[in-house]
Amino acid sequence: MDAITLLKNDHRKVEKIFSDIEKGNGNRKQLFTELATELTVHAEIEEQLFYPAAKDAEPTRDLVLESYEEHKQVKMVLSDLEQADMNTDTWLAGLKVLMEDVQHHVGEEEK
């Protein structure tokens, strides 16, 4: 399996976890912990392996810089959600914001 396929598989896994949390399939805390781990590891792989090389190529430079900023935003929302009460509408709203941010990021990467 090549690196691009691996990253796309990660994207699908994260989408499934978001869906499971939204639908109430499974333990919310456990699913969120899995989601946070997947997003963190995925971001580290991109930041350490993919972005440094792509940042130097003119056609992808702006996308990479934007991706770094999107990662910062995702990490910030993840941190907020980790500290919040998962049984509130506010937490679910934060999760929706996180999901939308991740969907945007994935869409940009897979273009």
Q: What is the mean pLDDT of residues 102-106?
A: 92
Look at the chain and report how many structural domains it folds into.
Answer: 1
Q: How far is CA 67 from CA 4, 24, 100, 104, 108, in A?
A: 16, 30, 14, 10, 9
Q: Whole-prediction pTM value? A: 0.90
Q: What is the pLDDT of residues 10-28, one digit of tens each?
A: 999 999 999 999 999 999 9
The whole-number pLDDT of residue 18 equals: 96
pLDDT band at 71 (very low <50, low <70, confident <90, very high): very high
Neighbouring CB atoms inside 10 A of 104's CB total 13
State which amino acid sits at residue 50: F
Residue 46 above 80 pLDDT? Answer: yes
The whole-number pLDDT of residue 39 equals: 96
Cβ(88)–Cβ(28) below 8 Å:
no
For residue 18, give its domain range. 3-110
